[in-house]
């Protein structure tokens, strides 16, 4: 089995609106493994590095202001196909285009308040995990694994 890891972050709007528990519950109950978790304030330099692919775009300054406006809940989740499946659970970038049942489709309206970030490829996940969790991740083997994977 190819096990992937994804960087998933509840943005300041999701933290302020009390959605952290629901979001963790969705990934946990689906069967993914929590490998890292912290609530933290984000400085400008980390926000700019995280979103470096968007530097120069019109929404970039607003995005950096938003991500640094309050604590975020940074997480690493692990499991089979977590990068793509994690994005499917999140929904489209614009919450108004996100299907009901997705996180953005259930809780969001505006693009600049879309609640959650999820890595868009295995390569970005590797980069983002290194950036947000330089201290490393927890090592453990969940006992439920044989009841999740065949």
Could you tell me which residues come within 8 angstroms of residue 145 by beta carbon, excluding any fewer than 6 positions away? none
Output the residue with the shortest Cβ distance to ligand YYY: 93
Which residue carries 């519950």 as its tokens?
25
Number of residues located near ligand YYY, criterion CB under 6 A: 9
Candidate list 40, 41, 43, 59; residue touching ligand YYY; CB under 6 A: 59
How many Å apart are CA 143 and CA 53, to the nearest integer? 38
117 binds ligand YYY (CB under 6 A): yes
- Relative orientation angle of helices 20-30 and 82-90, to the nearest 10 degrees: 140
How many Å apart are CA 74 and CA 116, to the nearest integer? 10
User: What spatial distance separates the first Cα and last Cα of the chain, rounded to whole Å?
Assistant: 10
Residues in contact with ligand YYY, shown as a per-residue x/- string from 70 to 109 under the rule CB under 6 A:
-----------------------x----------------
Which one, 11 or 35, has the nearer CB to Mg ion? 11
State the minimum distance, in angstroms, from the CB of residue 29 to Mg ion: 24
Which residues sit in the known binding site for ATP?
11, 59, 87, 93, 104, 114
How many Å apart are CA 22 and CA 16, to the nearest integer? 13
Residues annotated as catalytic (active site), given as ranges: 117
* Chain positions contacting Mg ion, by CB under 5 A: 120
């Amino acid at each position: 089995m190819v096990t992937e890891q994804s960087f998933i972050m509840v943005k300041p709007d999701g933290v302020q609106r009390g959605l952290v528990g629901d979001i963790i519950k969705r990934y946990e109950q689906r069967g993914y493994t929590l490998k890292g978790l912290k609530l933290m304030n984000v400085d400008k330099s980390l926000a700019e590095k995280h979103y470096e692919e968007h530097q120069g775009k019109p929404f970039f300054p607003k995005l950096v202001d938003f991500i640094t406006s309050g604590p975020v809940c940074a997480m690493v989740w692990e499991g089979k196909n977590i990068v793509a499946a994690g994005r499917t659970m999140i929904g489209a970038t614009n919450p108004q285009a996100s299907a009901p049942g997705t996180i953005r489709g259930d809780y969001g309206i505006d693009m600049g308040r879309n609640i959650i970030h999820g890595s868009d490829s295995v390569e970005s996940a590797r980069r983002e995990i290194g950036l947000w969790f330089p201290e490393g991740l927890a090592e453990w083997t969940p006992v439920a694994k044989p009841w999740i994977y065949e």
